[in-house]
Amino acid sequence: MPRRVLPLTDVQIRNAKPREKTYSLTDGHGLYIEIMPSGSKLWRMKFPQRGRGDNRLSFGAYPVVTLQEAREKRLATQRLLLQGIDPGRYRDDKKRLAAEKGSNTFEKVAREWHGNKVPTWSERTATNTLRRLELDIFPEIGRLPIHEVRHRDLIDALRKIESRGAHEVAHRIMAVCKQIFSYGIQIGLLERNIAADMKDVLKTVRPSHFAAIDTDELPDFLAALRRNESRMLKPTLICLRLMMLIFVRTSELIETPWSEIDLEKGEWVIPWQRMKRGKLTVNPDTTNHHVCLSRQALALLRELHAITGGGTYLFPNQRDHKKPLSNNAILKSLERMGYKGKMTGHGFRALAMTTIKERLGYRHEVIDRQLAHAPPDKLSSAYDRAQYLAERKVMMQAWADYLDSL
């Protein structure tokens, strides 16, 4: 008949004195406490391991782990054994998972997410997204394991951005963080997306349009441009005049290579890959954009070719001719003209749309196609190319002549 083991008492454990050699006091069902010669008292549990004899688990040191807590750990181990789970392997797996979670910091997961998204983004989007994270988020929460980031941590980081007046940036970064936490859920690192609940923590940003002068202000703008001609580099001046004449998007103009321009035929066709809708990852518009050139625009391009025609771009960067002109150069020129906050490169598009409709009487559809806005469907796209190109050429010449008349 097996010897009956009496459960330990807290007094018995507390009064146990160290001996020359390690000895143990048994509580029953595999649980015992070892008394070390140093006086340390360690909880252990012996359990049968299938095919490998007995194994042992350590539950920690007494009195940090009390008698009651040690018994609770024993009970949890017994439950695992009843389920056929090896407690030793279960313990090791928990340690491994905890280590993995601890090493998966917000920055590490964010960079992994970013790397997965890069193939679907434009180079500018990829660069700007990572740069925003590196400047504003990684210094605040990047070192924290992603599952330990609290609402308060993220809110503080976002409001720090907001406090410097960058309200739109704060909203954009919050949307990025939401995607990163969603990715963390998908790869099993956390169970809740804390950014998904943050609908009202930032101040509401009213949608705003790009600054643009109106039609009545156009004569004064042209006069200011004439007054400031001597203060501008010739390519910058030509760039501003071309933006007014052809009103393509700023990036589509300053990033134009000479290879797209046929000065002999007077033609300029922008490949669809460079157009805004051509860069979409889902259903990109594969329609090349015909930039209808007036006589005035063609004359400016020929003048520009004598200056920059030996290089790659129409408007090379002054510091590095292998790169195109910076959009900031356009904004700075407008600022020197006294139009800071009143006019932008994109504003020329709004100005042209309004003026051509109101003063020249052209239909919205014709102007819209010249602006390379999205047609409603592929059939309409094909129709636009066939039906509006001739009208657009006439319209663009009329627009250039109207500007000359002012």
CATH number of the domain bearing residue 193? 1.10.150.130
Using CA atoms, how far residue 71 sits from 15, 85, 374, in Å, is: 19, 19, 70
Residue 68 placed within a domain: yes
pLDDT score of 1 more than 50: no
Based on the fold, state whether residues 318 and 169 are members of the same structural domain. Answer: no
The reply to whether 79 and 117 lie within a common domain is: no
Q: The domain that contains 233 carries what CATH number?
A: 1.10.443.10
- To the query of whether residue 373 is one of the catalytic residues in this protein, the response is yes
Cβ contact 169:181 at 8 Å: no
Is 98 contained in some domain? no
Of 46, 91, 383, 402, which is the active-site residue? 383
Rounded distance between C-alpha atoms, residue 217 and residue 39, angstroms: 90
The reported pLDDT for the residue numbered 272 is 81
Q: 384 and 246 share a domain? A: yes
Q: Is 346 a catalytic residue?
A: yes
CATH code, domain with 75: 3.30.160.390
Model pLDDT for residues 200-255, shown as the tens digit of each residue? 888 876 655 567 888 889 899 999 999 998 888 899 999 999 999 998 888 888 89
Q: Are residues 186 and 332 in the same domain?
A: no
Indicate the pLDDT class of residue 72, thresholds 50, 70 and 90. Answer: very high
Q: Which domain holds residue 34?
A: 10-87
Token pair belonging to 191: 């169970």
What pLDDT shows up at residue 313? 92
Q: What is the percent of the chain where pLDDT is above 90?
A: 40
Question: What pLDDT digit, counting tens, does each position of 350-396 carry?
Answer: 888 889 988 898 888 888 888 876 655 554 555 445 457 888 899 99
Spatial distance between the Cα atoms of 347 and 403, rounded to a whole number of angstroms: 16
Please report where in the chains the tokens 């998007």 appear, as a residue.
Answer: 249
229 and 186 assigned to the same domain: no
Average pLDDT, the chain: 86
DSSP 324: B
CA–CA distance, 296 with 276 (Å, rounded to integer)? 26
CB 161 within 8 A of CB 172: no
pLDDT at 296: 95
| Catalytic-labelled residue, pool 160, 373, 385, 393 | 373
Distance of alpha carbon 398 from alpha carbon 336, whole angstroms: 29
- Res. 79: pLDDT tops 60: yes
- Asked if residue 204 is part of any domain, the answer here is no
Q: Which position among 91, 274, 276, 279 bears the catalytic label?
A: 276
**Is the Cα dihedral 79, 81, 85, 87 positive or negative?**
positive
Residue 152 is among the residues annotated as catalytic for this protein: no
Which pLDDT tens digit goes with each residue over 286-330?
Answer: 778 888 899 999 999 999 999 999 899 999 988 888 888 888 888
- pLDDT score recorded for residue 81: 84
The catalytic position among 114, 349, 369, 392 is: 349
Q: Is residue 305 part of a domain?
A: yes
Distance of CA 159 to the CA centre of its chain: 18
Task: Spot the catalytic one: 249, 289, 290, 392.
Answer: 249
Residue 313 DSSP class: B
Q: Report how many domains make up the chain.
A: 3
Same domain, 385 and 236: yes
Model confidence at 40: pLDDT above 50: yes
Q: Is the pLDDT of residue 29 over 50?
A: yes
Under 8 Å between Cβ of 401 and 355: no
Catalytic residue among 346, 362, 369, 388: 346
Tell me the CB-side half-sphere exposure of residue 170, using CA atoms within 13 A. 22
For residues 15 and 112, membership in a common domain is answered with: no
Taking the C-alpha atoms of residue 93 and residue 305, their distance in angstroms, rounded to an integer, is 68
Query: Structure pTM?
Result: 0.52
One domain, residues 141 and 180: yes
Cβ atoms of residues 76 and 91 within 8 Å: no
Condensed to tens digits (0 to 9), the pLDDT of residues 139-180 reads 999 999 998 999 999 999 999 998 888 888 889 999 999 999
46 phi and psi angles, rounded to 5 deg: -100, 135
Q: Is residue 177 part of a domain?
A: yes
Residue with the bigger pLDDT between 93 and 202: it is 202
Residue 56 is given by DSSP the state E
Give residue 281's pLDDT. 63
The residues pairing with 43 across neighbouring beta strands, listed in sequence order, are: 33, 60
96 among known catalytic residues: no
Q: How far apart are the first and last CA of the chain?
A: 115
